[in-house]
Structure 1
Amino acid sequence: MTYSSSHASPWQWKSTSQGEFLTCELLKDWCHGFFSVDFAGQPPKVLSQYLDDSAKAFRLKQIHTNIIFSTSAVEVRKDEKGNVIYSQGDGIITEKPLESVWVASADCTPVLMADRTLGKVCAIHSGWRGTASEIVPDAIALFDQLGSKKEDLLFALGPAIHGEVYQVDIPVALQVLSTIFEGTDQEILTQGYNSLNKVILEDNEEGKVRLNVTQVINTQIQQKGIEKEQIAIAPYCTYQNPERFFSYRRTHEKNIQWSGIVAK
């Protein structure tokens, strides 16, 4: 594999015979990738081979919750018709080295976490519902229970739909924003409009706003005592980069891209 862009950027594309996937310099000590449309249809057990062919892959049936599994708790079985059934949740934390954990997205934010001392990693799927239920702060709490120190945690927030193109109803925005702001509905909205991270933008349509879910997650993480230098945010919008990423909001088709990381 070779880098296809300057190392001056914290985000680089890696080339393979299949295509390119995105990596983050912050997670350079772990094999990881945010995969693009080039790898459409390839499941985690195949994609894991691009990272480390000796790693065992774990995934879930994602249901937009704050449910996080450890790898030993993830179940895979077949029903009476032979269909594969996965445990239902939206985050997986590793327990052993050479376990790769994966999440799928098509506008929601994929979050890859790592502990630079313990070597453990976590993959999280956080759309607006998962963000409203604080799945990433919950993952930070789980790492704390496992003995992590906050200064050792690293976060790469992968390609997702950007706020300037993500129109939502105000009640949806309030569910998400109430995780980072307090007050009346109007006070919460005002704080959102005035926030440094631009978590919401005004919309021309009455009763709507533009919501930046990734920046809400960024704020949630920092409010847990994590320094901003421990967080990297991908500069790519899934909606606005059709040559690279699938977007459900753009096409309304159920196509996805996978993001994964391997524990040390």
Structure 2
Amino acid sequence: MKIEAPLLAALPGIRHAFFTRQGGVSQGIYASLNGGMGSNDDPAAVTENRARMAREIGVEPGALVACWQVHSADAVVATAPWTRDDAPKADAVVTRTPGIGAAVSIADCGPILFADPEAGVVAAAHSGWKGAVGGIVAATVARMEEQGAHRADIRAVIGPLIRQASYEVGEEFVARFLAEDKSFARFFAPADRPHHALFDLPGFIRLRLEQAGVGQVEDLGLDTYPDAARFFSYRRATHRKEPDYGRLMAAIALA
């Protein structure tokens, strides 16, 4: 049902999980632990799935909070639970309030969980390529600092996401990165098809974490695309011509 990162599991008073697709009640293409409120799954099933996730990290079902994710560089602070209708449009949740589960949903994009155990501040961020380029990591760390965290004390973990071997992109995608910094060429490898390349999203996210001054970074090294038994994948669902796809969740909370 969940994967834990050694870097975070060692911290007292902090509960976290990168949830797999296993251990829920959803059926069909959403089987079984689909956390996607934006999917076309049965809302009652998604609600039950998210309640199970909340219990795994020791919070009440209504206290597992996530944003309306819009591939932005916006991070928000949660001091109390909000409803789906009230959720802000942003891509990271920061909290220093015990009992609040900061959560993100993903289906190939990168989930990043952050914790400063000394200051008692945690965060969850959703980073696809747009967020990584746009600055979601820097924004999350800045919000954590506002809540009392110190960059050098922050631990960050990159969870399951689409990895380079599975992430083929076109020339325009590559050009967008090189226009910002020619050195970003190191995040691209040749693809089998002409005029295409393979993009290293987790490597780029790690760069952003290092640029933000995060003290310790761990990458779980897990690829969502080839592992259909454990992970949902937007790209895999698209290649299979499936009508929709489930969403994975990652969450962190102060006990």
1:76 counterpart SS class: coil
Distance (Å, rounded) in 1 between the aligned partners of 2:108 and 2:90: 17
Identify the residue that residue 12 of structure 1 maps to in structure 2: none
Identify the residue that residue 173 of structure 2 maps to in structure 1: 172
Distance (Å, rounded) in 2 between the aligned partners of 1:131 and 1:45: 29
**The one of 234, 238, 250 aligned to 2:224:** 238
Query: Is 1:155–2:156 an aligned residue pair?
Result: yes
CA-to-partner distance for each residue in 1:198-236, whole Å, 9 max, x for gaps?
x22112333321111111010111123334xx1111121
Q: Which amino acid aligns with 2:249?
A: W
Structure 1 residue 62: Cα displacement: 1.2
Identify the residue that residue 70 of structure 2 maps to in structure 1: 63
Identify the residue that residue 3 of structure 2 maps to in structure 1: 22
What is the number of equivalent residue pairs in this alignment? 224
Does the C-alpha gap of structure 1 residues 145 and 170 become closer, same or farther in structure 2, counting only changes over 3 Å? farther
Q: Which amino acid aligns with 2:197?
A: V
CA-to-partner distance for each residue in 1:12-38, whole Å, 9 max, x for gaps?
xxxxxxxx3100011112211011111
Query: Is 1:50–2:56 an aligned residue pair?
Result: yes
Q: Is the 8 A contact 2:120 2:149 kept in 1?
A: no
Identify the residue that residue 237 of structure 2 maps to in structure 1: 251
Identify the residue that residue 224 of structure 1 maps to in structure 2: 212
Structure 1 residue 255: Cα displacement: 1.1
Distance (Å, rounded) in 2 between the aligned partners of 1:246 and 1:176: 27
Identify the residue that residue 132 of structure 2 maps to in structure 1: 131
Q: Which amino acid aligns with 1:258?
A: M
CA-to-partner distance for each residue in 1:102-148, whole Å, 9 max, x for gaps?
10011000000011211111011101111121101211122233332
Identify the residue that residue 27 of structure 2 maps to in structure 1: none
Paired residues for 1:177-188 under 5 Å: 182=181, 188=182
Taking structure 2 as the reference length, the TM-score comes to 0.80
Distance (Å, rounded) in 1 between the aligned partners of 2:116 and 2:164: 29
Structure 1 residue 54: Cα displacement: 4.8
Query: Is 1:35–2:19 an aligned residue pair?
Result: yes
1:258 counterpart SS class: strand
Q: Which amino acid aligns with 1:261?
A: I
1:86 counterpart SS class: coil
Identify the residue that residue 9 of structure 1 maps to in structure 2: none
Identify the residue that residue 3 of structure 1 maps to in structure 2: none
Identify the residue that residue 261 of structure 1 maps to in structure 2: 252
Distance (Å, rounded) in 2 between the aligned partners of 1:73 and 1:128: 29
1:140 counterpart SS class: helix
Over the residues paired in the alignment, what is the CA RMSD in angstroms? 2.2
Distance (Å, rounded) in 2 between the aligned partners of 1:74 and 1:64: 22
Identify the residue that residue 96 of structure 2 maps to in structure 1: 95
Q: Identity of aligned pairs, percent?
A: 24
Distance (Å, rounded) in 2 between the aligned partners of 1:216 and 1:22: 22
Distance (Å, rounded) in 1 between the aligned partners of 2:80 and 2:195: 42
Which structure shows the higher strand fraction? 1
Distance (Å, rounded) in 1 between the aligned partners of 2:250 and 2:178: 25
Q: Is the 8 A contact 2:122 2:144 kept in 1?
A: no
Segments of 5+ residues of structure 1 without an aligned counterpart are 1-19, 78-83, 183-187
